[in-house]
């Protein structure tokens, strides 16, 4: 894929990356770590232990999901830099542009992705 064709995907990936980083900062409470942010969020004595556990588990799940998505985006940006973006990492065929528009971090063609899932 030429640079001209990949430029919109790169912009989309960089925008998604910035959004995810902001969500993670917000979820984690800015510059503090995940443990410190959780202590602040769940230290309310009026909340039941079950409610605090559920909220904590949900926050950790969202954090893990955002972190995993961030890794996929970083890998896609790496493929852009390497010149292999748009090629399936398993079989090497070209990933259709429609799939990349829908999921710009996609690393596999639909056939290979179905096998992985």
Condensed to tens digits (0 to 9), the pLDDT of residues 72-98 reads: 999 999 999 999 999 999 999 999 999
Instruction: Compute CA distances 26 → 8, 19, 38, 84, whole Å.
Output: 27, 11, 12, 33
The C-alpha R_g of the chain, in whole angstroms, comes to: 18
In 26-90, the DSSP E strands lie at none
Residue 62 pLDDT: 78
Residue 87 pLDDT: 96
Q: Which portions of the chain are predicted below pLDDT 70?
A: 28-45
Q: Which two tokens stand for residue 36?
A: 């410190």
One-character DSSP codes across 7-29: HHHHHHHHHHHHHHHHHHHHHHT
Cα(110)–Cα(22) distance, integer angstroms: 30
Cα(51)–Cα(42) distance, integer angstroms: 9
In the chain, the DSSP E strands lie at none
| Domain spans, the chain | 3-85
Cut 0.95: pTM above it: no
Instruction: For CA atoms 76, 80, 81, 84, give the dihedral sign.
Output: positive
Find how far residue 82's CA is from the centre of its chain. 20
């Amino acid at each position: 894929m030429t640079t001209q064709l990949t430029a919109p995907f790169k912009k989309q990936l960089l925008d998604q990356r910035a959004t995810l980083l902001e969500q993670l900062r917000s979820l984690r409470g800015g510059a503090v770590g995940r443990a410190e942010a959780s202590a602040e969020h769940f230290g309310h004595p009026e909340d039941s232990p079950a409610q605090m556990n559920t909220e904590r588990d949900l926050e950790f799940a969202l954090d893990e999901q955002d972190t995993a998505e961030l890794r996929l985006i970083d890998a896609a940006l790496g493929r852009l830099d390497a010149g292999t973006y748009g090629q399936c990492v398993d079989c090497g065929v070209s990933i259709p542009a429609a799939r990349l528009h829908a999921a710009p971090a996609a690393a596999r063609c639909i056939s290979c992705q179905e096998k992985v899932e």
